Amino acid sequence: MTGWRIGYAIAPPEITDAIRKVHDFLTVGAPAPLQEGAVAGLKFGPEYYVELAQKYTERRALCLDMLGKAGFKYYAPQARIM
């Protein structure tokens, strides 16, 4: 599901009403394959996402190491992966 943009919000009606209005102007609708993929992804257990986060952490470290060895100046992402 990497690269797919999907989200949800749990909020009071006055906030979700505003979210819906913004959403209407930003998108027409999510394609059916995206919706089906999101449903499949929500069925995976937490262990899947823990392992996925570990793999992405390892890949990020590898890429940053290669950038440093190649002489690039970079800023490490500050995102916390689980």
Could you read off the pLDDT of 5-24 as tens digits, one per residue? 667 788 999 899 998 888 77
Q: Which two tokens stand for residue 63?
A: 């890429």
Lowest mean pLDDT among 10-19, 30-39, 50-59, 61-70: 30-39
Reading phi first (left if > 0) and then psi (alpha if -120 to 50, else beta), residue 19 is in: alpha
Cβ atoms of 56 and 81 closer than 8 Å: yes
Predicted confidence at residue 15, as pLDDT, reads 92
pTM of the model: 0.54
| pLDDT bucket at 60, cuts 50 / 70 / 90 | very high
Write down the H helix ranges in 1-82: 13-26, 32-43, 46-69
